[in-house]
């Protein structure tokens, strides 16, 4: 809503700043930002020196706190064109959905944080809103059978923003990583909501992990090698490109007693091979995108070692100049939570295409807007 052609954004639940950096690369200036987790907040402030950072729980941030932060940054709330953020809904993740009862899951405070995000949006009243979350959110239902994604859309509507969502796959947007995230775009203006078209729609176009990790040097920030025991290194040497634990010879697989015998020394049974799933001892394939970056370690596609945090950052398309602060676990968590920068840039460019014309568009009445049938939207 800036009176100039400058594009101004505010970020909430910013984490270490993957989405915000992508938005900035697209041409927005993120002038204020907020997060609660101290390690991510420190990384963000270390890399976004020009943003006014509000550290703390978003539930404690009201109109005054926002106006004060904007004043320090040299702006007012009327200057904000776009608000972006990723309020967590971990209580609705696949893992938690398997481990706890649904009614208990619904009590998780993190599941209401998207409402706090939209409360702040309501104060700033930007022309457009971009919100991201885990892909699993598309299938999650409450104990009453309501889809969480539909409740989020309804909440947007309550604040007079129409909203649509789509699951985007990062490898289709120039990211050397297979990663699915759901994105919500909202607006209170009379414009059609559109998502960016894939820039790399075909498998032959995908960026690969091998190419992403080329020409990396030890003097880069966060280039910390894991101190791996020889027993594990022996296993790593036997994992082929794209393979994992299941590809090991039986002699190297973990074996445990599965019987109920108390005296294991004199037990007549033999140890049995333990099954492993997911990313355990997973080696990246040099000619394919990486699997989703998370806390779990990956084996280098060509070298017999785990990849470093810097190499994970490359898979997340962070520039080498972006430095992560915190201990090993904190840095890995920040990387696992982040939106790939290049995907953020593509989304930012789509938002940018609405400006400056959207500023002169009429406000919409959500009650008269025909919403897309959200249940029919897939990850196309």
Write out the catalytic residue numbers: 89
* SS3 call for 345: helix
Rounded to whole angstroms, how far apart are CA atoms 237 and 285? 14
Give the DSSP H or E segment for 24.
helix 18-25
**Distance between CA 205 and CA 199 in Å, rounded?**
9
| Nearest-angstrom CA–CA distance, 259 and 203 | 46
CB 58 within 8 A of CB 34: yes
Provide φ and ψ at 128, rounded to 5°.
-140, 150
CB 359 within 8 A of CB 79: no
CA-CA distance, 286 to 212, in Å (whole number)?
9
Separation between Cα atoms, residue 298 and residue 282, nearest integer Å:
6
Helix count (H) and strand count (E) of the chain?
12, 9
List b or e across 325-350, with b for residues whose CB sees 16 or more CB atoms inside 10 angstroms.
bbeeebbbbbbebbbbbbbbbbbbbb
Q: Please work out, in degrees rounded to the nearest 5, the angle formed at the alpha carbon of residue 185 by the alpha carbons of 184 and 188.
A: 135
The token pair at 373 is: 């049938």
Rounded to whole angstroms, how far apart are CA atoms 105 and 352?
37
């Amino acid at each position: 809503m800036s009176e100039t052609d400058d594009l101004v954004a505010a970020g909430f639940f910013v984490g270490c700043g993957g989405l915000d950096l992508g938005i900035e690369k697209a041409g927005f200036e993120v002038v204020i930002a907020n997060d609660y987790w101290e390690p991510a907040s420190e990384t963000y402030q270390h890399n976004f020196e020009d943003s006014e950072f509000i550290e703390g729980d978003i539930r404690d941030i009201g109109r005054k706190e926002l106006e004060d932060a904007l004043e320090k940054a040299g702006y007012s709330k009327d200057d904000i064109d776009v608000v972006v953020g990723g309020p967590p809904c971990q209580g609705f993740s696949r893992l938690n959905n398997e481990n706890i009862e649904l009614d208990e899951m619904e009590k998780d405070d993190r599941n209401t944080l998207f409402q706090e995000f939209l409360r702040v949006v309501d104060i700033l009243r930007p022309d457009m809103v971009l919100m991201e979350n885990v892909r699993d959110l598309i299938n999650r239902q409450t104990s009453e059978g309501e889809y969480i994604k539909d409740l989020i859309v309804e909440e947007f509507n309550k604040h007079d923003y129409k909203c649509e969502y789509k699951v985007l796959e990062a490898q289709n947007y120039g990211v050397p990583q297979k990663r699915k995230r759901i994105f919500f775009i909202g607006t209170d203006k009379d414009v059609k909501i559109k998502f960016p078209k894939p820039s790399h729609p075909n498998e032959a176009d995908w960026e690969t992990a091998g190419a992403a990790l080329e020409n990396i040097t030890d003097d880069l920030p966060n280039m910390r090698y894991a101190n791996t025991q020889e027993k594990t290194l022996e296993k790593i040497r036997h994992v082929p490109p794209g393979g994992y634990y299941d590809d090991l010879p039986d002699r190297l697989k973990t074996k445990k007693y599965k019987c109920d015998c108390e005296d294991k020394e004199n037990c007549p049974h033999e140890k049995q091979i333990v099954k492993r799933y997911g990313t355990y001892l997973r080696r990246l394939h040099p000619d394919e995108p990486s699997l989703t970056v998370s806390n779990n370690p990956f084996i280098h596609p060509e070298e017999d070692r785990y990849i470093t945090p810097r190499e994970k950052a490359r898979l997340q398309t962070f520039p080498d100049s972006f430095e992560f602060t915190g201990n090993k676990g904190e840095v890995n968590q920040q990387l696992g939570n982040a939106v790939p920068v290049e995907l953020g840039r593509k989304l930012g460019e789509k938002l940018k295409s609405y400006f400056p014309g959207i500023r002169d568009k009429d406000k919409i009445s959500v009650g008269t807007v025909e919403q897309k049938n959200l249940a029919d939207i897939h990850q196309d």
